Amino acid sequence: MSGYNFASCYSLRTISLPALTQISGYNFTYCYSLRTISLPALTQLYPPLFYECSAITEIDLPELTSIYANDYLFSGYSSLYSLSRINLPKVSLATAPRIPMSICPALQEITLGMSYMDYSVFGWGPGYSSTNNVRILNLPYL
């Protein structure tokens, strides 16, 4: 699926597309009420997909392995302020080098499929991290 299929659907609250394996473009941009994203079969993502979706609280992409084109999963940092749970167990930092978790003040649970950890993955250093509320950190390959 590509394009602007659901762009500016201001009242859309939940996305559940169980058979979708690939998505690109600005499909869900400006979906200001979007809170939950469940794409269980998705393996490839071409961002920016959720540009300015500022109400997102939960992302579940258990089969996602590759993020292409743009190095930001969510363009527009305001897209991340409400995020409390992110499940990307097969995404490593090699395939998603810019998941800017340091600006997710509501983030409580993280699952990432990373096999190595670089400097400041979850923050910008002492005094600058906004991931202070993380209670569950799952790194199954580390």
Domains of the chain: 1-142 (3.80.10)
Which pLDDT score is estimated for 97?
45
Give pLDDT tens digits along the chain (142 positions): 888 889 999 999 999 999 999 988 788 888 999 999 999 999 988 777 788 888 989 989 899 887 775 545 555 556 677 888 888 898 765 555 455 565 677 888 888 887 666 555 555 555 445 556 778 888 887 7
Identify the H or E element spanning 45: strand 44-46
**pLDDT at residue number 108:** 86
**For the chain, give me the number of helices (H) and strands (E)?**
0, 9
How remote is the C-alpha of 39 from its chain's centroid? 11
Q: Are 70 and 76 in contact (CB under 8 A)?
A: no
Q: What is the dihedral of CA 133, 138, 141, 142, to 10 degrees?
A: 40
Sign of CA dihedral 115, 80, 16, 19: negative
Instruction: Give the CA count within 13 Å in the CB-facing half-sphere of 22.
Output: 2
DSSP conformation class of 67: E
| CA dihedral (12, 62, 24, 94) positive or negative | positive
